[in-house]
């Protein structure tokens, strides 16, 4: 599963670069884009209630 996560993360980061029109600096340890709040906002999206994740 970890390999799948890493592979799809790269695809998502490429899409974020395409959407924002700029390069990004990725902090792989924290899984955050460095010094770019607008790009970081694209890492997640609000889920519709019927697709929300259960809380533990």
Rg (CA), the chain: 13
Top-confidence residue, 52 or 43 = 43
pLDDT at 51: 84
Helix residue ranges per DSSP H, 21-42:
37-41
User: 56 pLDDT exceeds 80?
Assistant: no
pLDDT 10s digits, 3-49 = 888 899 999 999 999 999 999 999 999 999 999 999 999 998 887 88
- pTM for the predicted model, two decimal places: 0.76
């Amino acid at each position: 599963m970890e390999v799948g996560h890493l592979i799809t993360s790269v695809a998502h980061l490429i899409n974020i670069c395409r959407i924002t029109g700029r390069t990004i600096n990725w902090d792989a340890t924290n899984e955050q884009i460095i010094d770019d709040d607008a790009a970081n906002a694209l890492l997640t999206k609000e889920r519709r209630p019927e697709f929300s994740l259960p809380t533990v």
